Amino acid sequence: MRFEILPGLPPYGPPAISLTGHGEREFREGLVVRFYPKGSDPWIGNFVGGIFDCTTVLDHPNGRDVIVVARGDTCIIDPEHHAIRDRIASDTARAIGVPALGLVVFQGSVDFSAVRSDNLRWNSPQISWDGFRKINVQETMLTGEAWSPIGDSWISFSLDLLTGHCTDGIYELEAARALRVTRKSD
């Protein structure tokens, strides 16, 4: 075991390390995780998080780090150094592990991002106007439906999980058709 989610801040022992955007000034309890780094004592991190529903803790595909999603606020933790190594997103609605490809995909409000086992990342373009549904992963493709305000409809899209490339995102298609409105001077 490399980590465990605790039901709250322990009343005894060393204090938890606050790992938030506000640093040590953050004193609210959030997602509390005990880390078990190789060769050193366990320690506890407190992640206050954001405003979204997604909360989870995952092994990073590199086998060393840990990915923490606290109410949508997503970061990569270096358990050996008790620190945030990288921030991924603040609007994660879902984290999808794809072990066959050595990556974790993060579904945001309007786009996707991923981190690979070699620590490289990709970010997709904006695909949806606001939200996704029917997300499915098959081999190297992620498919689903993206919302469009035009006709209040859901439009199918596909995303290449190796590159983050999306050719049929409804946002880009509709934004390209938009007309620029300028004010005519008198």
Query: Following DSSP, what letter does each residue of 18-87 receive, concatenated?
Result: E-STTGGG--S--EEEEE--TTS--EEEEE---SSS--EEEE-TTSS-EEEEETTEEEEEETTTTEEEEE
Q: What is the pTM of this model?
A: 0.88
> Would you state the structure tokens that stand for residue 158, as one six-digit string?
């596909």
pLDDT at 118: 94
Question: Quick one: average pLDDT of 117-121?
Answer: 93
Whether 23 shows a pLDDT value over 60: the answer reads no
48 and 27 Cβ atoms separated by less than 8 Å: no
pLDDT at 121: 94
98 or 169: whose pLDDT is higher?
Answer: 98
